[in-house]
Structure 1
Amino acid sequence: MVDKLSKKQYSPHLFDVTQDIIGTLPLKLVEQWLTSQQTHKDALQLLNSYKIRGYSVSSDSVGLTKLSQQKGLLEILAMINQPKKIVHGFGKAIGGESVGIWAADNTQMFYPDSVSAATLISTLLTVQDEIERNCQTKIGLGAHYGEFYSIYGGLYGIEADAIEEIAENNTEGNEIVISQAIYDRLPSNHGFIVEKRSDLTTEIGNIYRVLDGTRLSDLQPLNQRYPIPYSESFYADLVAYETRLDDQDLAHYLAEKYLQKKVVVLIERETKEMEIHEISMFNQLSFSALMKDIGLRLLPLDIAAEIKVVSSIGIYVFDEALAAVDFAKTFRHELSQQDIACRIGIDLGAVLIFNLATGGKDIAGMPVNVASKMAQDKGKFGKLYLSAAMKEFVDVSEFTEVKYTVSGVEMTAYEG
């Protein structure tokens, strides 16, 4: 059982901070929840105006961890830009809308229920064909029909979370999976070749792999300009670089122009689920707001900055390694005082940091991936992990060396 959070547990000024600081975190909605009785009825009442029905389609790139060991950050960004344009262009052509800001390699689209299931699947097959022909990176696609909550540009709810997780963790390159709800909306003579994924047990029922079927050969992409997180000048340079990936002089020029060397701190807090999903959803948002509050209080603003707090993850950057480790330890202690465990990964290297149009920032770069692999993929809650690169700047004598392989990449970390 999760104890009720109180508004008194937060800094008094937190709920008055401006949009450029809070990003997409719905602090006003969190404030309404904290000042209610926090019952299921309260949750449903607050969420009622945000409810929508249709299709959520998520994608995730395949093999980027290995690829990031071989290629530079800007080349990776140029490569993942290509499938994102295709997903957005063909999705818009059948009435889809982008969800959120596509800062990473994954995407999310929402389609109204006026779109037929057959049209959606044919579009996804067309998308995968186009990516296979024209892109160096491949993606997996997951689609579900259901009820979601559209809040501050994001899709929330147990069903949205489920299909996003499936796309990210349970698909391969060129694969399309659909939920039972989509399968049930197909006509009896749909003509698609599908097979049940017997290896998956999900909260949204059976999952099917689409093997073949009708394509929309006459479909033309409506608008390939997906919701880019970058500045106009950087995106123009990125698009130009797409056609000149072998130009080392241009790569060096762009790296000097845009990349920064930073220490990246990634903090994942433990989530405490409740049986009633809507209450659990509000509690998770409230805990995210708590992380936002702690970060704003603890960050030394002259040498550090918050990048974002999304769901259970907080990402921060520092100019100094020792300051980053001290911050991480203090943050861990503050969360433990609220009976919340966390696991933390810290790495350093070249990153791209960009301001988002919706407020807040985002980040790309190998240090983010390494910090995530150490903490989220292999880490234990309550522990802090330093990368091998951090050993040059921080005394690791009180840490324990650990070695493991993640996504085919061998890693050494220091656990403390």
Structure 2
Amino acid sequence: MTTTRKFTTEQYNPALFDISQDIIGSLPLTLIKNWLVSEQTQQATLELLEPYKVKGYAISSDSAGLTKLTKQKGLLEILAIINQPKEIVYSVGTAIGGEGVGIWAADNTQMFYPASVQPETLLSALLTIQRQISETCQIKIGLGAHYGEFYYINGGLYGLEADVIEEIAENDTEGGEIVISQGFYELLPENHNFTITQKSEVVTQIGKLFRVVDGPSLTEIPSLNPQYPIPYSEDFYADLLAYGNRLTDTEFGKQLADKYLQNKVVVLIERETEEAQSHEIGMFTNLALTAELKDTGLQLLQKYNGVEVKVVGSIGIYVFDEADTALNFAQAFRQELAAQNIASRTGIDAGSILLFDLAAGGRDIAGNPVNVASKMAQDKGQFGKLYLSSTLKTLVDVSQFTQITYTVSGVEITIYEA
């Protein structure tokens, strides 16, 4: 959906742009406000972004085989398992001059390396990471690497090139694979010691893609540094590390589950993404829409007894104690967004979750209800619709909903649409 709409600060509650709130996740509220009061032209947008421009390498990763594992293991065991590759990515990366980007709450990671890092050194580091993970971890990751220009804003990488390599890592890599962009490949000297093949004939928005098949590791393997951009409290992370060393201790696992996990109803709302005449204006347009998503949620939560977990990208996640309240909130939210000409789709599930405060402010969440809500809304849902899991059938009246059955990852599931 392409937009030419003009945004103003009057569309929002003034309290949203309080400077004290500008630490929330990756939503840079002060920068958004500066854009709202600008001309919102391409030139004005580029001038606003200029101080944030950086050149270097963006490296993103995504886990492989996690969906299968979540059907076999409990939440805390999954968190302990995905913790191990993150430690390796961070330890090796920081040893050669990289830095962690964002908060690594999920199973993916992102690192930024300055242009001063040699491409051969970085490739050896990526091979070292994959070999270490293969030897010591229960899951594998795919790595996507690109050399280019990005905007480093509020602890996150923005811009077309950052978005593309993150999407490639998530959708176009396999476990154990290293994929580099044309920009990265062309930095390598002709006499490099790596075995590299072109991945396919497909040319992306950042050029051709190449697969790194083999090559030298780093001469020294860095010692493990577990202090990656951790989303958890110190106490929980200490327990998680302890659990990672004794995963077969079911009694200890049960103690941690009783201590940290809660049963909640999870509401995940995704707004429609809008395009603009340039990527930079589109970036701010969608940040402004995310700010509207956040603003609408905060105002509705004054009426409904729930908690905002986070609003980032195109989604907002909220938790409630009661299913009826969660459903009423979701229906009111859909109506409010529609009145602002913002289409949305919503997934609601209930079950065991881990809810935690972030060190930099805000919250995050882990647990199967989040995954189920996302799969219903984002993977299969239509904009304008609301989806309930089969768990919600026992908690709310679904007589006005349409029952739908389909198969995801070989498993047949039943959901309810309205």
TM-score by length of 2: 0.96
1:241 aligns with 2:249: no
- The match for 1:343 is 345
Q: 1:77 to 1:153 in 2, by over 3 A?
A: same
The equivalent position to 1:414 in structure 2, one of 410, 413, 416, is: 416
Cα deviation, residue 340, structure 1 = 1.3
C-alpha distance in structure 2 between counterparts of 1:21 and 1:101, whole Å: 12
- The match for 2:362 is 360
The equivalent position to 2:162 in structure 1, one of 150, 153, 160, is: 160
One-letter amino acid matched to 2:228: Y
- The match for 1:317 is 319
After superposition, residues 3-402 of structure 1 pair within 5 angstroms as 3-16=5-18, 18-19=20-21, 22-198=24-200, 200-221=202-223, 223-300=225-302, 303-402=305-404
Equivalent residues of 2:343, 2:384 under 8 A apart? yes
C-alpha distance in structure 1 between counterparts of 2:304 and 2:358, whole Å: 21
Equivalent residues of 1:2, 1:272 under 8 A apart? no
1:35-66 CA-partner distances (Å, limit 9, x unpaired): 11111111111111111000000011112122
Equivalent residues of 1:93, 1:222 under 8 A apart? no
Cα deviation, residue 113, structure 1 = 0.6
| SS in structure 2 at match of 1:14 | helix
1:305-344 CA-partner distances (Å, limit 9, x unpaired): 0000111011111111111111111111111112111111
Q: 1:234 to 1:130 in 2, by over 3 A?
A: same
Equivalent residues of 2:21, 2:29 under 8 A apart? no
Which is further off, 147-156 or 207-216? Answer: 207-216
One-letter amino acid matched to 2:290: S
C-alpha distance in structure 2 between counterparts of 1:200 and 1:363, whole Å: 36
> Which runs of no fewer than 5 residues in structure 2 stay unpaired?
none
One-letter amino acid matched to 2:311: V
C-alpha distance in structure 2 between counterparts of 1:380 and 1:210, whole Å: 38
C-alpha distance in structure 2 between counterparts of 1:261 and 1:31, whole Å: 37
Q: 1:302 to 1:274 in 2, by over 3 A?
A: closer
Q: 1:273 to 1:399 in 2, by over 3 A?
A: same
Which is further off, 113-122 or 131-140? Answer: 113-122
Q: 1:106 to 1:409 in 2, by over 3 A?
A: farther
Q: 1:401 to 1:167 in 2, by over 3 A?
A: same
RMSD over aligned CA atoms reads: 1.5
Report how many aligned residue pairs link the two structures.
Answer: 416
Equivalent residues of 1:92, 1:221 under 8 A apart? no
Q: 1:166 to 1:71 in 2, by over 3 A?
A: same
Cα deviation, residue 397, structure 1 = 1.6
C-alpha distance in structure 2 between counterparts of 1:274 and 1:207, whole Å: 26
Equivalent residues of 2:63, 2:175 under 8 A apart? yes
> Which runs of no fewer than 5 residues in structure 1 stay unpaired?
none
Equivalent residues of 1:86, 1:221 under 8 A apart? no
| SS in structure 2 at match of 1:386 | strand
| SS in structure 1 at match of 2:186 | helix
C-alpha distance in structure 1 between counterparts of 2:271 and 2:5, whole Å: 16
One-letter amino acid matched to 1:371: A
Equivalent residues of 1:33, 1:282 under 8 A apart? yes
Cα deviation, residue 301, structure 1 = 7.0
